[in-house]
Structure 1
Amino acid sequence: MKELYYDAAIIGGGVIGCAVARELSRYDLKICVIEREEDVCSGTSKANSAIVHAGHDATLGSWKAKFNVEGNHMMGKLAEELDFSFVQNGSLVLCFSEDEIPALKKLLEKGAKNGVEGLSILSGDEVRAMEPNVSDQVVAALYAPTGGIVCPFGLTLALAENACDNGVEFLFQTEVTEVIKTSNGYDLKAKDCIIHTSYVVNAAGVYADVLHNMVSEKKIHITPRKGDYLLLDKEAGTHVTRTIFQLPGKMGKGVLVTPTVHGNLLAGPTATDVKDKETTRTDAEELADVMEKAAWGVNNIPFRQIITSFSGLRAHEDGNDFIVSEVEDAEGFFDAAGIESPGLTSAPAIGVYLAELVAKKANASKKENFKGTRQGIVDPRKLPREERAELIKKNPQYGTIICRCEEVSEGEIVDSITRTLGAVSLDGIKRRVRAGMGRCQAGFCGPKTMEILARETDRDIEDICKNRPGSSMLTGHKQGGAHHDRA
């Protein structure tokens, strides 16, 4: 069994773990991120609303309120530094009766106290002037100009790549099964290795309570809260231009309708508490509920243009707030637990906060050679015609379209595989360049993408998986000694 040694180990390669890793890589420490899947952004972070919340809903004085507003303020600059998609499109919280207006005013007051800027209450007619497809039943709305939308894959991958470029090691397919306190810190046991570390950051999503409870007498409990979504084709992407919420209830912010940064329309989520931390299958009744509730606020949503549905799990802790601190009775063990909405928005701020706590505890100094920027994958569609032509001239792979739905070239797919923390699975490629995310959902481009992945990673094509090992796409290819052509 291998033995590995680090100053700090971050358990979980979602957006929180990667944000902590990126910020902690500013310091002169040996750091690793431990992820049980084959790639980052494979759990909660891959299936959510992709919203950058303004911050008017969180309880005053809570961690959610603090980190939401801070993260919102950070997102624009971070998107420039790390080259991921972010749009500050604004949001509306709809009110359907005069009786609800006092609740809307309370939401405005709460937001102002939380530090949200620019909030205002609009009449129903003012809302419809901004968003013509909003329901005639809407009598008022809270407008938050600082609300936004982001690519959750792009954000997480950008943080991870930048952390890796600054020396953080990523240990994939490594599931921590036991945490043991030692005189020097902690031993993290996995199937084929023991990781010795002075400090631990627990960013394990719906499993954060399991790891916390291994080291602390003060137990926490996380309930997986499943949310189902519907994704519509890009032809429906301009049906609304802002994120449309309804007044929030006890289970969250309710069903929303929003454009995505990639031009689609998204509706959801539901909120169903489940026992199984692996349950991510969609449910027909819940998807019908999404359509019904979305239609309350937005007229004529073209649901015939649904191209896929999906679900994700939120890590709801019983205390109804983030747990972001060093564990009282487990020195050197830091929690990032119960990170549900607005966790995506809050991630950059949580990363800074926890990194500073760990660095202070370790008495670590900052690096002189920290690299704070990262260049994303080139998207030829966004280039001027002359620049695109020059790119194709230099590398003809950028002129070969593999995914016709999303117009993704072979050059982009190759870059997604060969760059820092490159993709090793079909889902990994999909998250990086959207090959397979269009109307056909990889029905046409999937086989060719598999061939490219096999070629670039020098693997047999039957070893290519959808995501984690075992999710093979082909069987029997090796019969008779046949292998893919690497020529």
Structure 2
Amino acid sequence: MKYDVIIIGGGVSGCATARELSRYRVKACVLEREEDVCCGTSKANSGIVHAGHDAWPGTLMAQLNVRGNALMEPLSEELDFEFRRNGSMVVCTEEEKRGDLQKLLERGEKNGVPDLRILEREEALAMEPNLTEDTVAVLYAPTGGIVCPFGLNIALAENAYTNGVEFYFDTEVTRITRRPDGFLLETTQGEYVSDYVVNAAGVYADVFHNMVSQEKMNITPRRGEYMLLDKTVGGHVSHTIFRLPDELGKGVLVTPTVHGNLLVGPTAQNLQEKEAVNTTQEGLRTIRDRAGKSVRGIPFRQVITSFAGLRACAQTHDFIIQEAPDAPGFIDCAGIASPGLTSAPAIGEMVAEMLRTRMNLEANPEFCGRRKGILNPAKLPLEERNRLIEREPAYGQIICRCEMVTEGEIVDAVRRPLGAKSLDGVKRRTRAGMGRCQAGFCSPKTMEILARERGILMEAVTKSGGDSTLICGINKDIWQGDE
């Protein structure tokens, strides 16, 4: 199949690029090796919208962080995903390091971060009572925020798709060859040809870059482990709380999530293995120890799950967004580590503009930049909710009790553009299975809905695509409740 542009990777950078590219008349597609978007780095991160004071002035990280932060709120309104500007604090607990806090303030001001200020201990504790007693001062950034990573990624993908970008899942790129007429991409689902390639493959971006360029790239996977706490303790802090950064990043943070949980993490461990997303006893112990140095009394007995993700760290310590010098038409979107999620809307803008300029693209007159997310009946006024349930009874049938997700929401998640095909796909779109019981009660019913809506057997329903089936056979009489 022949395309003008092929994007490798259905993470947040690839989907942001796809959405921005759909503003123009262009034949484009996204190739994703997993069964859904948001299955790699983009699904396992802090969900933080960074203010932009950490990146070094003059870097792409600094520029795109601040721009992405500014874009996030209007984008959340256009595409209907969860975002909240809750503000962030960087905590200094040693008087002799107050100068480092001042330097961070000055760096942020050079980057163009608005309204930064240093708060003394008393004012900081008044705003955030659970800060450690050792707090000396904090750098307060009111523009810091939190977002649902799944919501952002899926919203970008759906809007790109409805504007004409094609998506191919379970399609792993195995080889790229430069040809006089562009690039040949060999995949597990056949061959694709394209004039331009956008390499947004996360920790595998170096693999694809090195297939076409003699100027080799190296991406180091950096594992970050997290603990997620129950909603009953989600108000332990109201701001995102950081410690002063070190050579491996911003350290262990404590933050509320847009859905009301408390999130603690990540660790930072450089690895060679690009699939090492397991948690470790040592990593989880590190989280507990380090988080307590900025926030006191964290109720770790309320942890409901732990997880890990990999950040794609480049040897340049900056984003790499450029055309490969010796491979015209091959555009790297690589090294998108933190603050990659924050920067994603700006990354999409930048890459799409590069392509528009090179390809002389014309505007797409049918582009629609708005998208409506899954209807949550719990957010409706009572009378309106009752009318909805009377009209569509599935919205009155609770499937996930922990998160109060209805059958109507799950059906919508399956039927909508680029709909869910697995339990994890439903979870990312509706939160069914993300609550305290971690899908212990709702999985069978969700599987029934998936099977019914997709017209497949229960045995074919997977957790996350591929061979991740959950059952190998059913006694149909017992399953239907018959004697």
Give the shorter-chain TM-score range: over 0.9
Q: Partner of 1:424: helix, strand, or coil?
A: coil
Counterpart pick for 1:211 among 205, 208, 216? 208
Q: Partner of 1:178: helix, strand, or coil?
A: strand
Q: Distance in 1 between matches of 2:403 and 2:196?
A: 43
The aligned counterpart of 1:178 is: 175
| Equivalent position amino acid for 1:191 in 2 | T
Query: Is the Cα–Cα contact under 8 Å of residues 461 and 484 in structure 1 kept in the other structure?
Result: no
Higher mean C-alpha deviation, range 376-385 or range 468-477? 468-477
Q: Distance in 2 between matches of 1:425 and 1:217?
A: 40
Are residue 321 (structure 1) and residue 318 (structure 2) matched?
A: yes
Are residue 73 (structure 1) and residue 77 (structure 2) matched?
A: no
Are residue 366 (structure 1) and residue 369 (structure 2) matched?
A: no
Give the TM-score of the pair, scaled to structure 1.
0.97
Q: Partner of 1:227: helix, strand, or coil?
A: strand
CA-to-aligned-CA distance 1:414-460 (integer Å, 9 cap, x gap): 00000000000100000000000000000000111001000000000
Would the alpha carbon gap of residues 484 and 364 (structure 1) be closer, same or farther in structure 2, given more than 3 Å must change? Answer: farther
Are residue 310 (structure 1) and residue 283 (structure 2) matched?
A: no
| Equivalent position amino acid for 1:351 in 2 | G
The aligned counterpart of 1:432 is: 429
Counterpart pick for 1:287 among 284, 287, 310? 284
| Equivalent position amino acid for 1:245 in 2 | F
Are residue 443 (structure 1) and residue 437 (structure 2) matched?
A: no
Would the alpha carbon gap of residues 484 and 201 (structure 1) be closer, same or farther in structure 2, given more than 3 Å must change? Answer: farther
The aligned counterpart of 2:420 is: 423
Q: Partner of 2:192: helix, strand, or coil?
A: strand
Q: Distance in 2 between matches of 1:482 and 1:304?
A: 37
| Equivalent position amino acid for 1:240 in 2 | V
Q: Distance in 1 between matches of 2:359 and 2:306?
A: 45
Q: Distance in 1 between matches of 2:343 and 2:465?
A: 28
Displacement of 1:192 in angstroms is 2.8
| Equivalent position amino acid for 2:26 in 1 | L
The aligned counterpart of 1:338 is: 335
- CA-based RMSD of the aligned residues comes to 1.3
| Equivalent position amino acid for 1:299 in 2 | R
Displacement of 1:359 in angstroms is 1.7
Query: Is the Cα–Cα contact under 8 Å of residues 282 and 309 in structure 1 kept in the other structure?
Result: yes
Q: Distance in 1 between matches of 2:189 and 2:154?
A: 26
CA-to-aligned-CA distance 1:227-255 (integer Å, 9 cap, x gap): 00000000010000000000000000000
Displacement of 1:482 in angstroms is 10
Counterpart pick for 1:112 among 101, 109, 112? 109
Displacement of 1:124 in angstroms is 1.1
Query: Is the Cα–Cα contact under 8 Å of residues 54 and 147 in structure 1 kept in the other structure?
Result: yes
| Equivalent position amino acid for 1:114 in 2 | N
Query: Is the Cα–Cα contact under 8 Å of residues 216 and 330 in structure 1 kept in the other structure?
Result: yes
Query: Is the Cα–Cα contact under 8 Å of residues 463 and 469 in structure 2 kept in the other structure?
Result: yes
Query: Is the Cα–Cα contact under 8 Å of residues 264 and 287 in structure 2 kept in the other structure?
Result: yes
| Equivalent position amino acid for 1:254 in 2 | G
| Equivalent position amino acid for 1:288 in 2 | R
The aligned counterpart of 1:23 is: 20
Displacement of 1:352 in angstroms is 0.5
Q: Partner of 1:39: helix, strand, or coil?
A: coil
Q: Partner of 2:375: helix, strand, or coil?
A: coil
Displacement of 1:484 in angstroms is 8.4
Q: Distance in 1 between matches of 2:373 and 2:301?
A: 34
Q: Distance in 2 between matches of 1:6 and 1:392?
A: 44
CA-to-aligned-CA distance 1:3-25 (integer Å, 9 cap, x gap): x1111000000000000000000
Q: Distance in 1 between matches of 2:73 and 2:208?
A: 33
Displacement of 1:483 in angstroms is 9.7
CA-to-aligned-CA distance 1:255-295 (integer Å, 9 cap, x gap): 00000000000000000111110110100111011011111
The aligned counterpart of 2:295 is: 298
Structure 2 gap ranges (5+):
none
The aligned counterpart of 1:42 is: 39
The aligned counterpart of 1:14 is: 11
Would the alpha carbon gap of residues 258 and 480 (structure 1) be closer, same or farther in structure 2, given more than 3 Å must change? Answer: closer
Query: Is the Cα–Cα contact under 8 Å of residues 172 and 189 in structure 2 kept in the other structure?
Result: no
Report how many residues are paired: 481
Counterpart pick for 1:57 among 42, 54, 57? 54
Higher mean C-alpha deviation, range 273-282 or range 140-149? 273-282
Are residue 410 (structure 1) and residue 407 (structure 2) matched?
A: yes
Would the alpha carbon gap of residues 473 and 102 (structure 1) be closer, same or farther in structure 2, given more than 3 Å must change? Answer: same
Counterpart pick for 1:262 among 247, 259, 273? 259
Q: Partner of 1:177: helix, strand, or coil?
A: strand
Q: Distance in 2 between matches of 1:245 and 1:482?
A: 52
Displacement of 1:481 in angstroms is 11
Q: Partner of 1:155: helix, strand, or coil?
A: helix
Are residue 224 (structure 1) and residue 225 (structure 2) matched?
A: no
Identity level (%)? 59
Give the TM-score of the pair, scaled to structure 2.
0.98
Structure 1 gap ranges (5+):
none
Query: Is the Cα–Cα contact under 8 Å of residues 201 and 333 in structure 1 kept in the other structure?
Result: yes
Query: Is the Cα–Cα contact under 8 Å of residues 461 and 483 in structure 1 kept in the other structure?
Result: no
Q: Partner of 2:365: helix, strand, or coil?
A: coil
Query: Is the Cα–Cα contact under 8 Å of residues 460 and 484 in structure 1 kept in the other structure?
Result: no
Displacement of 1:358 in angstroms is 1.0
The aligned counterpart of 1:241 is: 238
Q: Partner of 1:349: helix, strand, or coil?
A: helix
Q: Partner of 2:293: helix, strand, or coil?
A: helix
| Equivalent position amino acid for 1:19 in 2 | A
CA-to-aligned-CA distance 1:372-409 (integer Å, 9 cap, x gap): 10000001111111111111111000000000000000
Query: Is the Cα–Cα contact under 8 Å of residues 326 and 335 in structure 1 kept in the other structure?
Result: yes
